[in-house]
Amino acid sequence: MIENNRLQVFIQAAETLNFSEAAKRLNLSQPTVSHHIRTLESDMGIILFHREGPNLKLTETGRFLLPLARQQVRNAINFQEIVASVQEDIVGHLRIACTTTAGKYILPRLAARFRRHYPGVRVSILRCTKENVDNQLLEGEANLGVVSFESIGKGLEIQEFFEDHISLIVPEAHPWSSLDSITPEDLIEEPLIIREAESGTRRVMLTELAKHDIRLEDLTIFLELGNAEAIVDTVAAGYGISFVSRLSTTCMLQNREVVEIPVDGLALSRTIYMVRKEIDSPNRPQEVFWSFVHNPENLDLIQMA
């Protein structure tokens, strides 16, 4: 049987393509790393790397075996964590992939509370795109995902996490700042700062405006930005107006740097979901966090949006 520590050496060497750098990451000597790779190649009767002086290049065999090595190491770690959690308190490493701006405001506080209850669980919140969240969950790179869309891949299950409310914000000095509300038609001539095409916030905005026969082409787009905080800051500086998650505006609303304006007839909210792989093996930290999300003590966080 191949030892996991040798597989870990192979993984680090493949990621860095440098034995010295892999040794630093693993807190080993460079000769030790070289020895592990030679032993691994000898035991399996294959060549994992082409060596060109100090430079390394994965062979075709090495590229093929790398994801399998990662999976075997993850399985070994999961097995150790399951054994430990059965014998003692809940322990392990919980990895949560987050694809949505709104999630990153609530997840850290929720994770911090979870850690207070279960100090033996290490929590990592991973930045992720909606295009690769399914693969991260199915391949075991993440235990949970937080997404702003209900459509998920085969082999995954979903639950509602929280409702994200979207606000129209304007600069404090804007003529609308003293109004109780505006109409959707009022938006057409205003310089609008919008999120990127893949954004859930943008999707909700356009869906609601379409109910009033307003399309993207009818709007006056001033800027397109891929970051909610950057949009809020740009609006506060007086360059335009925007639709953003209310969670991203809290500080500037309190300081009156931006003002939230209701838009008549627009239902500006979206559901944020939590996703996981359909249970095929026990993972206690994941199962406990899945339920912990809707513990009554966390209602204040869920309602932040």
For residue 114, pLDDT beyond 90: yes
| pLDDT value of position 4 | 78
Query: 18 pLDDT exceeds 50?
Result: yes
Strands 49-52, 55-58: pairing is antiparallel
Whether the predicted pLDDT of 126 surpasses 80: yes
Domains of the chain: 4-84 (1.10.10.10), 90-162+271-302 (3.40.190.10), 163-269 (3.40.190.290)
- The torsion angles phi and psi of 29, rounded to 5 degrees, stand at -85, 155
Q: CB-based contacts of 41: which residues, under 8 Å, 6+ apart? A: 47, 48
CB 243 within 8 A of CB 121: no
pLDDT of residue 87: 46
- Six token digits for residue 38: 């030679």
pLDDT in tens, 203-256: 999 999 999 999 999 999 999 998 899 999 999 999 999 999 999 998 888 888
Average pLDDT score, the chain:
87
d(CA 129, CA 243): 21
The pLDDT tens digits for 275-286 are: 998 865 567 888
Q: CA-CA distance, 78 to 93, in Å (whole number)?
A: 9
Q: Tell me which of 35-49, 70-84, 129-143, 280-294 is least confident.
A: 70-84
Distance from C-alpha of 61 to C-alpha of 82, rounded to nearest angstrom: 32
For residue 75, what pLDDT band results from cuts at 50, 70 and 90? confident
